[in-house]
């Protein structure tokens, strides 16, 4: 649950209630007048002159009713759009097709882990196309648009997890663009932030993934490489381990077997062996990976047959 839920649900129920009331009133009078003024009872239509009072009242009353809906909606909207001062900020990177949550200390996570009871302000950054940051259980939805900073905030009031979805059709794997929001007690959150390898077992995506796979997420590899055979900006990583690859090394075309040495070099100095048919666009900054992390990635790639 979050504070945004009663705000959105309240406006929704209010609007539906007014619409339902009007609907039943209109249908009631429709039927009543049809029966009451049927031809057999009124063979001669009577002539009715205008009534200023009646006309004014059916202009003013519905206008006022509609305005209450507007005011109700507007207060809720302002509440949802303006993050309270002192909120904790999380940068939400949206890209084809994953979410990465970046905390102010630079820590990145494939799931949005938040402390209970804190106001969390999400700064939405679209890295390629328009995405929609959508947490149905919290009634929160905001587009992430390239070139524009949009934001949204919430306050998780009960522990547990909720789905984060993308609400803008953003390409082939749009429906797979899911993550979890996990609200945990502040003490657990601080331990996780401090870098201890707290895993919220069974709930977060990261804990279900092999370490190597979650690294591909955290380091953004999956924005260029698929693990299912699809060719994206870069070649797929499915079946790459042990495969025979044609590369250009310093302008010379040659065939190599993708062993540990080759894969390690492809990650650390991507410009040294360029896979044929692909541009040399893999960022060399990927060498921030530690040796152990590269080993984890290689172990994971070995399982991708």
Q: Each residue of 74-91: b (16+ CB within 10 Å) or e?
A: eebeeebeebeeebbebb
CB 87 within 8 A of CB 121: yes
Q: Provide the minimum distance between the beta carbon of 126 and ligand HEC in the complex, in angstroms, as a whole number.
A: 16
Q: Is 224 in the site for ligand HEC (CB under 6 A)?
A: yes
Could you say whether residue 93 binds Cu ion (CB under 5 A)? Answer: no
Residue 157 binds which one of Cu ion, ligand HEC, none, with CB within 5 to 8 A depending on kind?
A: none
Instruction: Give the other-Cβ count within 10 Å of 200's Cβ.
Output: 16
The secondary structure element, H or E, covering residue 95 is strand 88-95
Using DSSP's 3-state secondary structure scheme, residue 176 falls into helix
Asked if the bond preceding 97 is cis, omega within 30° of 0, the reply is yes
The reply on whether position 278 binds ligand HEC by CB under 6 A is yes
Our finding on whether 179 is near Cu ion (CB under 5 A) is no
Q: How far is the CB of 144 from Cu ion (least distance, A)?
A: 8
Q: Report what 224 binds from ligand HEC, Cu ion, none; CB cut-off 5-8 Å by kind.
A: ligand HEC
Question: Which DSSP string corresponds to 285-299?
Answer: GGGGS-HHHHHHHHH
Among 223, 227, 296, 300, binds ligand HEC (CB under 6 A): 223
β pairing state of 88-95 and 119-126: parallel
CB of 250 to ligand HEC, least distance (A): 13
Which residue is associated with the tokens 């679209």? Answer: 126
Residues 12-51, one symbol each (x = binds ligand HEC by CB under 6 A, - = not), give ----------------------------------------
List the one residue from 279, 291, 292, 305 that touches ligand HEC (CB under 6 A). Answer: 279
The yes or no reply on residue 170 touching Cu ion (CB under 5 A) is: yes
- Asked if residue 164 binds Cu ion (CB under 5 A), the reply is no
Burial 205-225 (b: 16+ CB within 10 A, else e): bbeeeeebbbbbbbbbbbbbb
Residues 231-250 that bind ligand HEC (CB under 6 A): 233-235, 240, 245
The answer to whether 199 and 207 are in contact (CB under 8 A) is yes
Q: Among ligand HEC, Cu ion, none, what does residue 131 contact (CB within 5–8 Å per kind)?
A: Cu ion
User: Is there a contact between 128 and 96 (Cβ–Cβ < 8 Å)?
Assistant: yes
Which CB atom, from 83 or from 166, has the smaller least distance to Cu ion? 166
Q: Can you give the binding site for ligand HEC, defined by CB under 6 A?
A: 219-221, 223-225, 233-235, 240, 245, 258, 263, 266-267, 270, 273-275, 278-283, 286, 289, 297
């Amino acid at each position: 649950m979050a504070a945004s839920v009663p705000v959105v649900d309240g406006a929704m129920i209010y609007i539906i209630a007014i619409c339902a009331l009007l609907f039943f009133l209109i249908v009631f009078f429709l039927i009543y007048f049809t029966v009451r003024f049927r031809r057999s009872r009124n063979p001669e239509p009577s002539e009715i002159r205008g009534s200023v009072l009646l006309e004014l009242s059916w202009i003013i009353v519905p206008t006022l009713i509609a305005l209450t809906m507007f005011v109700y909606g507007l207060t809720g909207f302002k509440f949802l759009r303006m993050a309270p001062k002192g909120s904790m900020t999380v940068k939400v990177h949206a890209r084809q097709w994953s979410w990465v949550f970046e905390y102010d200390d630079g820590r990145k996570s494939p799931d949005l882990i938040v402390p209970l009871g804190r106001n969390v302000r999400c700064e939405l950054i679209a890295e390629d196309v328009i995405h929609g940051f959508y947490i149905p259980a919290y009634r929160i939805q905001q587009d992430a648009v390239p070139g524009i900073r949009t934001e949204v905030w919430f306050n998780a009031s009960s522990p547990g997890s909720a789905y984060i979805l993308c609400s803008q059709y953003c390409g082939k794997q749009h429906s797979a663009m899911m993550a979890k929001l996990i609200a945990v007690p502040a003490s657990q959150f601080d331990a996780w932030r401090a870098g201890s390898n707290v895993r919220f077992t069974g709930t977060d995506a990261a804990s279900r993934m092999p370490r190597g796979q979650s690294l591909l997420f955290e380091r953004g590899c999956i924005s260029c490489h698929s693990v299912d055979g699809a060719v994206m900006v870069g070649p797929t990583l499915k079946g790459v381990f042990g495969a025979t690859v044609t590369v250009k090394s310093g302008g010379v075309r040659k065939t190599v077997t993708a062993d540990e040495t080759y894969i390690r070099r492809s990650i650390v100095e991507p410009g040294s062996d360029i896979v044929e048919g692909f541009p040399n666009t893999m960022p060399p900054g990927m060498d921030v990976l530690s040796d152990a992390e590269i080993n984890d990635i290689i172990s994971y790639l070995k399982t991708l047959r």
